[in-house]
Structure 1
Amino acid sequence: MLLTRIFGRAAQAVLLATTLGAAAQAQDFKLTSPAFAEGAKLSTDQVFKGFGCEGGNLSPALSWSGAPKGTKSFALTAYDPDAPTGSGWWHWNVVDLPADTTALKAGASGQPALPKGAVELRNDYGVTGFGGACPPPGEVHRYIFTIHALDVEKLDLPKDASNALAGFMIGAHQIGAAKITAVYNR
């Protein structure tokens, strides 16, 4: 290893300690929901109403803990990588969640239920806020809910920001993330 030749075993020990510390911190950051467990099927409460689906279109309750040190805000995303679009399907994107936020109640999508300052983007159904699951008949899709810890208080996105732009900015400022994945089929 080049570091060992240049700096010796001390550099190797520092690198190992840093890596192990980051891994331990990542394991501490967790996202959970009373609405579903990891890998479980979403209820009809979290299914879209429209596009041939008949659900409650209710955003699930979510809570998180163990955010990395230095977190200044959070972003929350819900994404279906299995949608037959070539780019997946964004079901929910909330940015600028204050750093002291640790949970969202069921049905939190929409103001004033979200914490002050939080901003919801337009989902891939074309409406602002949460859009529930609605895969094509006969297909099982994954719905990945991710809480992103960010190193900035605000992402400063334009009002009509796309989910791709938001994803880029989230990625540029992410210092940690926690995920929970549910499935749904009809």
Structure 2
Amino acid sequence: MTILGTLLKNKRAGEAKLAWHLPALAGPEALDLRSPDFQHESVIPKVHVGKRAGGENRSPALAWSGTPDDTAQLLLVVQDIDSPTRTPFVHCVALLDPDLVTLPTGALNTGSSVKGVRVLRSGMGRGYLGPEPIKGHGLHRYVFQLFALPTAITSAQGGTNLDTAKPAAVLATVSGPALARGRMDGLYGR
């Protein structure tokens, strides 16, 4: 796999196609998103890395402040902007009750039963997918994005059920702009 990573070294999805840059998710950067497990722009610990990369695939704990009072729902999206794909690879999509201000470790994993957390489909399967970049591809940036929505998402594009909808179909139904948003980037390479 190191050879494949080297061959694809210059192929990156890029920042421009993040959920962060969708017009419906534009808004003031008033949410302070953080994690007790790693700092913004630092390396994501191995426990939060995917199993194929030697980790435990446990979603990191998250905390935030600054949620506006009139927030109907929070949307959390985690994307890899350095994946060698056309668009950033989606590692997690979740809908959160607006009164939440923290998520414990593992809250975004499939089978988690944290009250107020609805984990949706990701790029492959459901729930949090920890970093598993191609060996030799270099450092990847994993962008944790939290959006305070004025209207709750109840179905995906075309009326598709949220539990089976692809991430792009969920994001396409957002009616914005966001009331507030926050971002935290984590790094991982192998």
The percent of aligned pairs where both chains have the same amino acid is 28
CA deviation string 1:135-172 (max 9, x = no partner): 11121100000111011234333131111112222364
Give the structure-1-normalised TM-score: 0.77
Q: Distance in 1 between matches of 2:92 and 2:83?
A: 14
Runs of 4+ in 1 over 4 A off after TM superposition: none
Q: Given that residues 150 and 176 in structure 2 are in contact (C-alpha distance below 8 angstroms), is that contact kept between their aligned partners in structure 1?
A: no
* Residue 166 (str. 1) matches residue 178 (str. 2): no
Deviation per CA, 1:75-103: give whole Å up to 9, x if none.
Answer: 111100110011121001002x1111111
Separation (CA, whole Å) in 1 of partners of 2:64 and 2:105: 14
**Stretches of structure 2 lacking an aligned partner (at least 5 in a row):** 1-26
Deviations for 1:101-149, whole angstroms, at most 9, x for unmatched residues? Answer: 1110001123443224x3222221x221100001111211000001110
State the 1:176 CA deviation. 1.8
Question: Where do 5+ consecutive residues of structure 1 fail to align?
Answer: 1-24
CA contact (8 A) 1:26 1:68 kept: no
Q: Any idea what the Cα deviations from partners look like across 1:17-46, whole Å, max 9, x if unmatched?
A: xxxxxxxx9354210100110100001111
Q: Is the 8 A contact 1:155 1:170 kept in 2?
A: no
Residues 1:173 and 1:26: Cα distance change in structure 2 (over 3 Å): closer
Which moves more between the two structures, 67-76 or 164-173? Answer: 164-173
Aligned to 2:45: 43
Instruction: State whether structure 2 residue 181 is matched by structure 1 residue 182.
Output: no
1:84 and 2:84 aligned: yes
Partner SS for 1:164: helix
CA contact (8 A) 1:98 1:153 kept: no
| Higher RCO by CA contacts (8 Å cutoff, separation 6 or greater) | 2
Between structure 1 and structure 2, the one with the greater Rg is 1
Q: Which has the higher strand share?
A: 1
Q: CA RMSD in A?
A: 1.9
Q: What amino acid is the match of 2:48?
A: Q
Verify the 8 A CA contact 2:155 2:173 in the aligned structure 1: no
* Aligned counterparts of 1:81 and 1:173: Cα–Cα separation in 2: 22
CA distance in 2, matches of 1:171, 1:184: 32
2:64 paired residue number: 64
